[in-house]
């Protein structure tokens, strides 16, 4: 199978869905030139009326998209950074999320909000956040977080075809990740987690960029400590494939949630509590979270003291499995930024 980059996979999904359906268009700040390299050739092929550069106003971008979706179009609202998404919070959290319910199911909101997330590039508090928890606590929004090129293309195609609003969180650090993507058409269904690595000793539920970091730590743990870690990527938080997570936890008797959002009220808190409510009797140790500290994300060198690190994952595995000597992964598993 051919190998392509994560940003190229997103670009292919856009090309294919815009060719398939003429109601699909994208709007955002300099979306025709996309700093993350996902827009190559789109403006030239589909024209400025379908790749629409907008004013610097997230409220206008998302608000106009909600109106267009109600009128029968399938807009893709593009945020240059996910951090800016909350400038259009009223349009996203109240209009897009609630209007189908508020109108008794008589209207559809086929809207995708594409938003690059994540840190590890030292670019500070307003350009490095993961916004899952902001979105997840709002009923009416679906959330996709692809961790590799295959999922990026398949999940985006599913999102564009969905009749409900979807927030598509693509990680900046993954844009240069290469992986297998078939040439034939495919989609990845929402609500179907993938077991990235089979294991028997402890379950790690990881999202986004931290899936690949977790897999590197898990491989070292297997090789040097004989600890067999099972790694699950939910792919979508809403809907969440809780059945796959619970089946794994019941097998391994241990659970760790690895996510880049804040530990306080983040995905780890939600997934961990669902495990406690549904599989408590199977656990040999309390559920452990690895996430960002409840601080603004510091810039440059100081960033590492806020965002979760590979050693935090190794330490969590040792704690849950009862190992008094955590594996030292410093310098062997590194987080790499895009700048």
pTM, rounded to two decimals: 0.97
237: pLDDT strictly greater than 80:
yes
**pLDDT value of residue 338:** 75
Average pLDDT over residues 48-68: 97
25: pLDDT strictly greater than 80:
yes
DSSP string, 230-273: EEEE-SEEES--HHHHHHHHHHHS-EEEEEEEESTTSHHHHHHH
Q: Which residue has the tokens 């849950």?
A: 320
Is 15 tagged catalytic? no
**pLDDT value of residue 114:** 98
Catalytic residue among 12, 29, 91, 127: 127
Alpha helices in the chain (DSSP H): 6-20, 42-46, 58-70, 89, 97-102, 132-136, 149-161, 210-225, 242-252, 267-279, 310-321
Q: Residue 19: is it exposed, middle or buried by C-beta count within 10 angstroms (0-12/13-18/19+)?
A: exposed
For residue 214, give every residue at least 6 positions away whose Cβ sits within 8 Å of its Cβ, in sequence order, or none: 204, 206, 229, 231, 258, 313
Catalytic residue among 12, 17, 58, 91: 58
For residue 67, give every residue at least 6 positions away whose Cβ sits within 8 Å of its Cβ, in sequence order, or none: none
Q: What is the rounded CA–CA span in Å between residue 203 and residue 184?
A: 33
Q: What is the rounded CA–CA span in Å between residue 152 and residue 175?
A: 10
Q: What is the rounded CA–CA span in Å between residue 268 and residue 291?
A: 7
Average pLDDT over residues 224-233: 98
Q: How confident is the model at residue 326 (pLDDT cuts 50, 70, 90)?
A: very high
264-319: per-residue pLDDT in tens?
A: 999 999 999 999 999 999 999 999 999 999 999 999 999 999 999 999 999 999 99
Average pLDDT over residues 78-101: 96
153-170: per-residue pLDDT in tens?
A: 999 999 999 999 999 999
95-138: per-residue pLDDT in tens?
A: 999 999 999 999 999 999 999 999 999 999 999 999 899 999 99
134-159: per-residue pLDDT in tens?
A: 999 999 999 999 999 999 999 999 99
339: pLDDT strictly greater than 80:
no
249-262: per-residue pLDDT in tens?
A: 999 999 999 999 99
What is the average pLDDT value for the chain, to the nearest integer?
A: 96
Q: What is the rounded CA–CA span in Å between residue 294 and residue 308?
A: 11
Q: How confident is the model at residue 336 (pLDDT cuts 50, 70, 90)?
A: confident
**pLDDT value of residue 294:** 95
Q: What is the rounded CA–CA span in Å between residue 196 and residue 92?
A: 32
């Amino acid at each position: 199978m051919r190998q392509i980059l994560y940003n190229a996979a997103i670009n292919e999904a856009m090309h294919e869905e815009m060719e398939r359906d003429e109601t699909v268009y994208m709007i955002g700040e300099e979306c025709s030139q996309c700093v993350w390299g996902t827009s190559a050739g789109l403006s030239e092929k589909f024209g400025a009326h379908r790749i629409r550069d907008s004013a610097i106003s997230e409220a206008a971008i998302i608000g106009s998209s909600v109106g267009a979706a109600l009128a029968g179009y399938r807009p893709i609202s593009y945020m240059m950074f996910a951090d800016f998404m909350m400038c259009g919070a009223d349009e996203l959290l109240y209009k897009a999320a609630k209007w189908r319910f508020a109108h008794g199911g008589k209207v559809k909101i086929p809207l995708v909000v594409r938003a690059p997330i994540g840190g590890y590039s030292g670019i500070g508090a307003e350009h490095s956040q993961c916004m899952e928890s902001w979105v997840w606590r709002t009923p009416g929004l679906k959330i996709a977080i692809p961790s590799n090129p295959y999922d990026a293309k398949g999940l985006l195609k599913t999102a564009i075809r969905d009749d409900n609003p979807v927030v598509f969180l693509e990680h900046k650090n993954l844009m240069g990740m290469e992986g297998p993507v078939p040439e034939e058409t495919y989609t990845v269904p929402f609500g179907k987690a993938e077991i990235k690595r089979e294991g028997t000793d402890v379950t790690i539920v990881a999202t986004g960029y931290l899936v690949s970091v977790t897999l590197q730590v898990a491989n070292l743990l297997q090789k040097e400590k004989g600890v067999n870690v099972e790694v699950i990527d939910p792919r979508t938080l809403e809907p969440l494939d809780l059945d796959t997570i619970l089946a794994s936890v019941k097998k391994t008797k241990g659970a760790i949630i690895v996510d880049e959002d804040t530990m306080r009220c983040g995905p780890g808190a939600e997934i961990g509590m669902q495990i406690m409510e549904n599989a408590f009797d199977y656990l040999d140790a309390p559920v452990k979270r690895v996430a960002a500290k409840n601080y603004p994300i510091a810039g440059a060198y100081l960033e590492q003291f806020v965002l979760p690190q590979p050693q935090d994952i190794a330490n969590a595995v040792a704690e849950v499995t009862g190992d008094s000597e955590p594996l030292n992964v410093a310098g062997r598993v590194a987080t790499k930024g895009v700048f």
